Structure 1
Amino acid sequence: MGTRKSAAALTATEKSNFVAALKALKAQAGGRNYDWFVRTHMTYFNVVNNHRYAHMSPSFLPWHRQYLLELENALKAFNPAVDLPYWNWAANRSTTGAPFTSDLMGGNGSGGNGPVVSGPFAGSANWPITVSATSSTSLRRAMTLRGSLPTTSDVDSIMGTSTYDVAPWSSASSGGMRNRVEGGLTPALHGRVHNWVGGHMAQVDSPNDPAFFLHHCNIDRLWSRWQTSWGFGASRYQPGGNVANVVDVNEVLEPFGATVASTLDHRGIYTYA
């Protein structure tokens, strides 16, 4: 069973192993290589088969939990010691601190929204962008230009929400934890971080930036924290069943083949440090 640690707590070896596995997956031809994950997010960001799987729906958290697990397993194929780290952006708020250090995610982009100039993912030779919503061929960031990172008090206020989600099960839902985490209600968490990092992270092809996975790992950690308080069982997920065009608890999360119910309790697969 794996243990996911804060990026700020990784050892030098853990950082090196994680970066090397990401680059090996990026270099892999065919199959579920890194660009498959970018393409999949771009596809499922939108409506597929009359369902919103990845965003603006109750399945936002289960879909991304399974998506992270698929990526983690792909990295473990290169190095079984690799576990996904998370970026606790409520505590680590610097553009030069964890995870944006030269030995992990690298730093900011140049000139406001330009290419990343430091670290292992700087430049198209180190990290070529080949599946994108734009013509950029190297990773871009624009940290701090748009908005601010969520605070600990923002997180705590959401963790006290006992209801998972409410009708109409979308970005228009006026209550529930899921929409407040995702970004439809104040204080939003998920969307604010994407905008704060900027560059590719603020686009539909946001997984082009490996920081995407550290961000979403933290979102998953917060959902796990919420579940610890309110329950891991299927009864805690809303809607339960028979809601048209919404992924119910026993429906499959495309394209993974896993149901929502199968994602709800992760504790036998990984834990958070």
Structure 2
Amino acid sequence: MGTRKNARDLTATEKTAFVAAVKALKAQAGGRNYDWFVSTHMQYFAVVNSHRYAHQSPSFLPWHRQYLIEFENALKVHNPAVDLPYWDWTVDRTTTSAPWTSDFLGGNGSGGNGPVTTGPFAGSANWRINVSSSTSTSLRRAMGGTLPSAANVSTVLGVSTYDASPWNSSSGSGMRNRMEGWVSPNIHNSVHVWVGGHMALQDSPNDPVFWLHHANIDRLWSQWQTRWGYDSTRYLPGSGTSGVVDLNEVLQPFTGVRPADVLDHRPRYTYA
């Protein structure tokens, strides 16, 4: 069982190992290499087989939980000691704090929405963008705006109902749509916008910070589950709802994996 640590608490050795594993996955030919994860996110961002799997639906949280597991397992092929870290943006809120250091993910892009200029992912020679809705072959960032606060997070974690009809981006009640960020206080979405560049696009996994951001979203969901329950009755809808993933429907493209299978992460990993 692994332990996911706050990016600010990683040792120099752990930072180096994570970066090396990410780059090794990027260099891997075929199979579930890094670019497979990018193209998969782009595909499942929209409607697939009349279902919304990754976004604007109840399966937003379990889909990304399994997606993180798949990515973490892919990294472990290259280094079994690597666990996904998370970025707690309620604490580290500047463009120079963790994880934006030159020895880890590097800093901001140049000139507003330009290529990243520092760190191991700066420039196409170090980190080439191959799959994107943009034409840039270099990773881009445009940090700025407002990040969610601890008070915003507390508000979302205080909502006891997981999700509500009509089970999409217009759902006015329920925790999931608030966590995803289509209604106030706009948690997940606003972080993508704050980082900007590729993180503001559907190919957002091109920026390795994607994984740290979503690990933090998953961590917050785990806190909600600790408060309100890990049992399957907490996930809604249970069954018979058209166009969304019910409790026991498969989370495509993850063969045989249902929301019910990933509700309890604790046998697989914990958060420090």
TM-score normalised according to structure 2 size: 0.99
Corresponding residue number in structure 2 for 1:244: 242
Q: Does 2:168 correspond to 1:170?
A: yes
Q: Does 2:14 correspond to 1:9?
A: no
- SS of 1:271 mapped into structure 2: strand
Q: Does 2:200 correspond to 1:234?
A: no
Task: Trace 1:65-104 onto structure 2 (pairs within 5 A).
Answer: 65-104=65-104
What amino acid maps onto 2:23 in structure 1?
Answer: K
Separation in 1 of the partners of 2:89 and 2:97? 11
Separation in 2 of the partners of 1:132 and 1:246? 26
Q: CA deviation at 1:250?
A: 0.3
- SS of 2:47 mapped into structure 1: coil
Q: Does 2:215 correspond to 1:210?
A: no
What amino acid maps onto 2:259 in structure 1?
Answer: V
What amino acid maps onto 1:260 in structure 2?
Answer: P
- SS of 2:136 mapped into structure 1: coil
Corresponding residue number in structure 2 for 1:271: 270
- SS of 2:51 mapped into structure 1: coil
Report percent identity of matched pairs. 69
- SS of 2:156 mapped into structure 1: helix
- SS of 2:78 mapped into structure 1: coil
Runs of 4+ in 1 over 6 A off after TM superposition: none
Q: CA deviation at 1:109?
A: 0.1
Corresponding residue number in structure 2 for 1:24: 24
What amino acid maps onto 1:263 in structure 2?
Answer: V
- SS of 2:190 mapped into structure 1: helix
Separation in 2 of the partners of 1:34 and 1:63? 18
Q: CA deviation at 1:94?
A: 1.1
Separation in 1 of the partners of 2:198 and 2:134? 9
Separation in 2 of the partners of 1:72 and 1:81? 10
| Unmatched 5+ stretches in structure 1 | none
Separation in 2 of the partners of 1:262 and 1:169? 20
Separation in 1 of the partners of 2:232 and 2:75? 29
- SS of 2:3 mapped into structure 1: strand
Corresponding residue number in structure 1 for 2:33: 33
List per-residue Cα deviations over 1:41-60 (Å, max 9, x = no partner). Answer: 00000000000000000000
Q: CA deviation at 1:208?
A: 0.2
Corresponding residue number in structure 2 for 1:221: 219
Task: Trace 1:16-165 onto structure 2 (pairs within 5 A).
Answer: 16-144=16-144, 147-165=145-163
Corresponding residue number in structure 1 for 2:259: 260
What amino acid maps onto 1:103 in structure 2?
Answer: D
What amino acid maps onto 1:150 in structure 2?
Answer: P
Separation in 1 of the partners of 2:208 and 2:54? 18
Separation in 1 of the partners of 2:247 and 2:100? 36
TM-score normalised according to structure 1 size: 0.99
Separation in 2 of the partners of 1:182 and 1:206? 15
Separation in 1 of the partners of 2:28 and 2:232? 37
Separation in 2 of the partners of 1:185 and 1:112? 27
- SS of 2:270 mapped into structure 1: strand
Separation in 2 of the partners of 1:47 and 1:62? 16
| Unmatched 5+ stretches in structure 2 | none
Indicate the RMSD between aligned Cα atoms, in angstroms. Answer: 0.4
Q: CA deviation at 1:245?
A: 1.0
- SS of 1:137 mapped into structure 2: coil
Separation in 2 of the partners of 1:255 and 1:261? 16
What amino acid maps onto 1:192 in structure 2?
Answer: S
- SS of 2:260 mapped into structure 1: helix
What amino acid maps onto 2:31 in structure 1?
Answer: G
Separation in 1 of the partners of 2:270 and 2:60? 20
